[in-house]
Amino acid sequence: MKRCLHILTQPEDPLAHDLIRQQQPLHKVEVEVEVFDLTLPQPDYHDLVRRICAASSIVVW
């Protein structure tokens, strides 16, 4: 199964959230959609690197 990782760099980006929401139905069929929010206090960069290495595609917002 393909994995799409969305990395959020801006809080409350309506375009990013809308596109991620549109991809969610694909989760059950062909694409696993993951979101990593860098705007949170103290993001886990080790987890981010792990997710980047496992992703088929990466989108940075």
Per-residue pLDDT band at 57 (split at 50, 70, 90): very high
Is the pTM of the predicted complex or chain greater than 0.75?
A: yes
Alpha carbon 25 to its chain's center: 15
CB atoms within 10 A of CB 28: 8
Check residue 40 and give its pLDDT. 93
pLDDT one-digit tens code per residue, 8-51: 999 888 888 888 888 776 556 677 889 999 999 999 999 999 99
> How far apart (Å, rounded) are the C-alpha atoms in residues 11 and 26?
24
Q: Which two tokens stand for residue 14?
A: 């309506």
Query: CA gyration radius for the chain?
Result: 11
